Amino acid sequence: MSGLGKKKIIKISAGGFHTLALCEDNELYSWGNGVHGECGYGEFLESNVPRVVKMPKDGGYFGEIHDHDEDGFKIKQISAGGHHSLVLTQAGHVYSFGYGSHG
């Protein structure tokens, strides 16, 4: 995949209509149907090329974008659902994005 170049993927999760990939450098990529925000780009668009998901500072909100290695931010687990995504950090914070009709 051209969007990942020569990145080493350490975790991957395939949802109903999108995919998440966590690389060893702690960068999270997503691609697929993003019309409900499940790809985490901040846009409601589809992408057939993997793009970086800009995660917020650990414990913060999505408006507080930062470098993935700043302040020890480390992604522990990822999960792509039907029209949503979940990210668990080493610090135990959970982030979700996508269709939230049930909270």
Taking only the tens place, the pLDDT of each residue in 82-102 is: 999 999 999 888 899 998 776
* CA–CA distance, 57 with 103 (Å, rounded to integer): 22
pTM of the model: 0.83
The domain containing residue 31 runs over which residues? Answer: 9-98
Structure-token match 């974008």, residue found: 65
Looking at the structure of the chain, the number of domains it has is 1
Order of strands, sheet of 47-52, starting from the edge strand that comes earlier in the sequence: 9-14, 18-23, 28-32, 47-52
Q: How far apart are CA 19 and CA 40, in angstroms?
A: 11
Asked if the structure places residue 1 within a domain, the reply is: no
Q: pLDDT digit string (tens) for 21-58?
A: 999 999 999 999 989 989 998 888 889 999 999 887 65
What is the chain's alpha carbon radius of gyration, rounded to the nearest angstrom?
A: 13
Flag whether 47 is in a domain: yes
72 or 4, higher pLDDT: 4
Q: Return the pLDDT at 33.
A: 92
2 part of a folded domain: no
Give pLDDT tens digits for 55-87.
876 555 554 555 555 555 799 999 999 999 999
